[in-house]
């Protein structure tokens, strides 16, 4: 008898409607709207909407989209700021079975056009603030999507591009629209185009199962109490706001929406709404720290911020001095929520502040609900020793990982080689099991038989008093194969400094091979999200 199919626990005990439901973030808003209907789901300026109202608006939007032909597997694109409409769309679009495609609003028309065409968007919901870019993009499309305008009285005025506006569409919709959970939790819920530090955006497809579990995993990491107050500083178009639209629904919390992340507005909102949680990039944290001291006075209620992208130890310490507890995570578009967290060890509480900040600046350990993480050789999948020194690639597996890349079977196969997601990020594994990211794999410099971290060289360069920003890439070298080539921009008020002086400074702080052989004064090229486009610098360096 076949043991696997024959055990008594396999006989006439199948899945059915009573004991197996698709995991989907949609279940989260349904419950919260039923249990806490009057609690504020969203606060935006003077506007407040309850969970019952937000759920009703999402159902109206879903029903109106369905009436206009949006079906399971279609794409609905969003060109929106962090407004209530953006939040509602995160529920409404999956209710129709369609797939969310939130666009990075900072991108140029050409990229927007490429994405709308590639994702085969049937509908585009767009804030009039972005009308100029969107119009240019639409003009180039052979069959443009149905355009729905969002006219936000709190936003800058802008041209209407479509025949329909969002409120008119909602008025058409059925507030009791009988949406259903997806027939399969593996159904796509979102497609996110990476902003592309290499020039070619990839379309990452996420699934309901992963979105649900990723949303819940944040609750565990933060040990989040019921009814948090969450401030939107992170763009909701970035990896669906790391899944927080759904996390906050699960805990019946309140979303505080903001169109802009100016320091004054953020700090005022935290105080006024007693914000308990927010997410922010290190750049936004630096903005907060640059605010006038009066605004930066310590908060008298608990505030927690989640940040990714390796904040410096000094930023960590300064943010915590404001009474904001910082959680350092690491994520990537290919993993829907977060992939790692620098989980805090109680024994670290007794360390001096600088050491605590240094420990916290590491990317850490696997996120709850992510099943596997290792730092390993990308070819052999052999884990590197936990010595804090040997560099390997960060490899992940688990339910938060994407379905794959849209229309790119080869890229999908490569990304999942050996049954692990290859992140392309290089890290060391410390003896305590915490990983620390050293570089992107394509940014590593192979010189004289050694692998050099461009990040390490950049961080030394940034310690030079005259340097504002630095980026280091490989340049061909006859003797060593490759050698570091530094691109630097100087501070506006910096004293004149020569390339030789900078090289001398590096000699004093780096081992021989790591010292740049070339220093170029240059305005660093960046993506719309502010990442340096090293592929452009690399091309420049090879032409030198």
Positions 154 through 183 that interact with a copy of itself (CB under 8 A) = 181, 183
Please give the torsion angle defined by the CA atoms of residues 154, 156, 161 and 162, in that order, rounded to the nearest 10 degrees: 0
By C-beta, is 12 or 511 nearer to a copy of itself?
A: 12
Q: How far apart are CA 289 and CA 281, in angstroms?
A: 13
Residue from 216, 258, 332, 445 in contact with a copy of itself (CB under 8 A): 216
Q: How far is the CB of 413 from a copy of itself (least distance, A)?
A: 9
By C-beta, is 171 or 417 nearer to a copy of itself?
A: 417
Q: How far apart are CA 413 and CA 374, in angstroms?
A: 19
Q: What is the DSSP string of 370-406?
A: --EEEEE-TTT-PBPPSSS--EEEEEEESTTB-SEET
Positive or negative, the Cα torsion across 418, 420, 424, 429? negative
356-395 positions binding a copy of itself, by CB under 8 A: 365-366, 368-369, 371-372
Residue from 162, 196, 282, 398 in contact with a copy of itself (CB under 8 A): 398
By C-beta, is 74 or 127 nearer to a copy of itself?
A: 74
Q: How far apart are CA 169 and CA 520, in angstroms?
A: 54
Helix (H) or strand (E) holding 206: strand 203-207
By C-beta, is 39 or 136 nearer to a copy of itself?
A: 39
Please give the torsion angle defined by the CA atoms of residues 310, 312, 313 and 317, in that order, rounded to the nearest 10 degrees: -100
Q: How far apart are CA 258 and CA 265, in angstroms?
A: 8
By C-beta, is 42 or 470 nearer to a copy of itself?
A: 42
Q: Does the footprint of a copy of itself cover residue 404 (CB under 8 A)?
A: yes
Q: Does the footprint of a copy of itself cover residue 153 (CB under 8 A)?
A: no
316-355 positions binding a copy of itself, by CB under 8 A: 343-347
Q: Does the footprint of a copy of itself cover residue 72 (CB under 8 A)?
A: yes
Q: Does the footprint of a copy of itself cover residue 199 (CB under 8 A)?
A: no
226-285 positions binding a copy of itself, by CB under 8 A: 226-227, 250-251
Q: How far apart are CA 234 and CA 284, in angstroms?
A: 9
Q: Does the footprint of a copy of itself cover residue 17 (CB under 8 A)?
A: yes
By C-beta, is 70 or 537 nearer to a copy of itself?
A: 70
Q: Does the footprint of a copy of itself cover residue 399 (CB under 8 A)?
A: yes
Q: Does the footprint of a copy of itself cover residue 290 (CB under 8 A)?
A: no
By C-beta, is 315 or 421 nearer to a copy of itself?
A: 421
CB 484 within 8 A of CB 514: yes
- Burial 199-229, CB ≥16 within 10 A → b, else e: eebbbbbbbbbbbbbbbbbbbebbebeeebb
Residue from 140, 286, 312, 412 in contact with a copy of itself (CB under 8 A): 412
Q: Which of 426, 505, 496 is nearest to 462 (CA)?
A: 505
Q: How far is the CB of 7 from a copy of itself (least distance, A)?
A: 3
């Amino acid at each position: 008898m076949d043991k696997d199919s024959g055990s008594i626990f396999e006989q006439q005990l199948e899945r059915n409607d009573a004991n197996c439901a698709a995991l989907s973030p949609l279940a989260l808003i349904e419950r919260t709207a039923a249990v806490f209907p009057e609690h504020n789901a969203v606060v935006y300026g003077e506007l407040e909407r309850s969970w019952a109202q937000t759920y009703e608006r999402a159902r109206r939007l879903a029903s109106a989209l369905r009436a206009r032909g949006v079906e399971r597997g279609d794409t609905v694109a969003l060109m929106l700021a962090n407004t209530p409409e953006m939040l509602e769309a995160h529920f409404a679009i999956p209710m129709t079975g369609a797939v969310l495609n939130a666009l990075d609003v900072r991108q140029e028309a050409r990229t927007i056009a490429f994405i709308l065409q590639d994702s085969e968007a049937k509908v585009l919901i767009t804030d009039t603030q972005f009308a100029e870019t969107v119009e240019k993009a639409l003009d180039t499309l052979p069959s443009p999507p149905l355009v729905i305008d969002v006219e936000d009285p709190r936003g800058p005025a802008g041209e209407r591009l479509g025949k329909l506006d969002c409120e008119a569409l909602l008025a058409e919709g059925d507030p009791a629209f009988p949406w259903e959970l997806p027939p399969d939790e593996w159904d796509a819920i979102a497609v996110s185009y990476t902003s592309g530090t290499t020039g070619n955006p990839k379309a990452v497809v996420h699934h309901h199962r992963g979105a649900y579990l990723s949303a819940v995993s944040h609750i565990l990491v933060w040990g989040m109490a019921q009814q948090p107050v969450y401030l939107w500083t992170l763009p909701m178009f970035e990896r669906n706001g790391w899944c927080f639209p759904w996390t906050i629904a699960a805990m019946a919390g309140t979303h505080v929406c903001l169109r802009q992340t100016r320091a004054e507005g953020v700090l005022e909102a935290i105080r006024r709404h007693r914000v308990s949680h927010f997410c922010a990039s290190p750049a936004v944290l630096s903005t907060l720290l640059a605010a006038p001291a009066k605004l930066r006075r310590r908060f008298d209620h608990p505030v927690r911020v989640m940040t990714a992208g390796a904040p410096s130890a000094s930023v960590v310490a300064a943010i915590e001095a404001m009474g904001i507890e910082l959680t350092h995570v690491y994520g990537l578009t290919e993993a829907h929520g977060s992939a790692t967290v620098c989980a805090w060890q109680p024994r670290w509480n007794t360390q001096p502040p600088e050491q605590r900040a240094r420990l916290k600046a590491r990317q850490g350990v696997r996120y709850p609900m992510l099943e596997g993480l290792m730092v390993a050789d990308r070819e052999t999948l052999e884990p590197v020793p936990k010595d804090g020194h040997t560099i390997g690639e960060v490899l992940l597996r688990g339910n938060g990982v994407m379905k794959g890349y849209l229309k790119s079977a080869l890229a999908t196969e490569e990304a999942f080689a050996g049954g692990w997601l290859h992140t392309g990020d290089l890290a060391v594994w410390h003896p305590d099991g915490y990983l620390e990211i050293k570089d992107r794999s394509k940014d590593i410099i192979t010189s004289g038989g050694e692998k050099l971290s461009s990040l390490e060289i950049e961080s030394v360069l940034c310690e030079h008093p005259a340097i504002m920003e630095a980026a280091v890439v490989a340049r061909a070298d006859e003797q060593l194969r490759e050698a570091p080539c530094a691109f630097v921009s100087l501070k506006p008020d910096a004293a004149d400094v020569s390339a030789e002086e900078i090289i001398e400074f590096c000699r004093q702080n780096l081992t021989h091979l790591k010292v740049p052989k070339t220093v170029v004064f240059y305005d660093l090229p960046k993506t719309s999200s502010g990442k340096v486009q090293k592929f452009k610098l690399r091309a420049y360096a090879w032409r030198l």
